[in-house]
A and B are shown apart, each in its own frame.
Chain A
Amino acid sequence: MKVRDLININLINLNSNAETKDEVLKEIAKMINAENRLNSEELYYEKLLERERQFSTGVGYGIAIPHAKTDAVKIPTMTIIRLKSQIEWQSIDDKPVSLVIGLAVPECKGNNIHLKIISNLSMKLMDDDFRSSLKNADNEDEILNIMDQVSF
C-alpha cells in the first residue's frame, strides 16, 4: 500500500471557502463520501465532532488533523484542505488554522500498513520543510508528490 491508495486529487481542495471548523469537518466527510470510501457520511462526521470534543486536533503551526477511527469508514483515507481564510481551531499554540489534514480509518486491530503511513505522516508534520511544502504547493499533483514522502 502506498500513500496514493489513501489520497487522490479528488480528496484535495486547495481553495476551500469554509469559514468555520464545523464547515471544514462537513467538507471532509462529504469529500470522502463522494469517493465512496465511507459506510456512513453522517456517522463519520459525528465521530469527527466527538474527537474534537475530547480535545482540539489543532496541533499548532497552523495545522489541524481532524480524524476518526470508526466502522463508518470503509476505506482508509487522507484528505487535504487548504483554507482561503484562516479558522480558529483552539490549537495548542492558539494560532488559527490554514491547512487541514482529515483522516478516516476503519475500526480495526493490528499492524496495518495504512496506520503505519498515517503515523509516518504525523511524524513528518513536525518537520518545518515538509509543512511549508504542503502550505506552498501550487496544485494537487504537487501535494501528491510531497505526500509520496510518507510512503514505504
Chain B
Amino acid sequence: MKIVAVTACPAGLAHTFMAKKALENAAKELGYEIKVETQGAMGIENEITEEDIANSDVAILAIDSYIDKINRFKKIPTIEVSTKVALKDSKALIKKALDKITK
C-alpha cells in the first residue's frame, strides 16, 4: 500500500510540518509507504510527481488553505481534511483513506 500526501497551513511554519511528521510516523507504525509533500513558507518541498501518483493507491490532503497543483490528484482516490485532523489522529486518518480504496 502506497500513500501520497500534501500538508499546508496558513503561515506554513508549524502545522504543515507537524502534520507531515504525524503522517509519516503513523504510516510507519501501520506498515505503509508514504511520501509527504509540504507547501509551507518555503514553498513546495519533497514534491509529489506524476510518477509518485501513478504508483500510489490513495492521496491524503491535510490542508487548511488553497494548495498549488491540486489537480494532480484527480487520478487517484483522494481524501481532504484539515492539518488538525492529521495532527490529532493520523492513524485514523490513514485508515479512513484506505477505506476509500476498498469501497
> Which residues in A have some Cβ–Cβ distance to B below 8 Å?
51, 54-55, 57, 59-60, 65, 67-69, 92-93, 103, 105, 110-112, 115-116, 118-120, 122-123, 125-127
Contact = CB atoms under 8 A, between A and B. Distances in A.
B13 A126 contact: no
Contacts of B15: 59, 122
Contacts of B18: 59, 122-123, 125-126
Interface string B6-32: 000011111111101110010000000
Pairs of residues from A and B, 8 with the lowest C-beta to C-beta distance, nearest first: A122-B17, A126-B21, A123-B21, A119-B17, A65-B14, A122-B14, A115-B41, A123-B17
A57 B18 CA distance: 12
A110 B43 CA distance: 7
A119 B11 contact: no
A20 B1 CA distance: 45
23 contacts: A51-B10, A54-B10, A55-B64, A55-B84, A59-B14, A59-B15, A59-B87, A60-B88, A65-B14, A67-B11, A67-B14, A69-B11, A69-B13, A69-B41, A103-B13, A103-B14, A118-B13, A119-B40, A122-B17, A122-B18, A122-B21, A125-B18, A126-B18
Interface in B20-69: 20-22, 25, 38, 40-43, 64
Contacts of B11: 51, 67-69, 105
B28 to A, nearest CB: 12
Contact of A119 (B16, B25, B82, B84): B16
Given A111-B42, A111-B43, A115-B42, A57 B88 contact: no
Given A92-B87, A105-B41, A127-B21, 10 more contacts: A51-B11, A54-B64, A59-B18, A115-B41, A118-B14, A119-B40, A120-B17, A122-B13, A122-B15, A122-B17
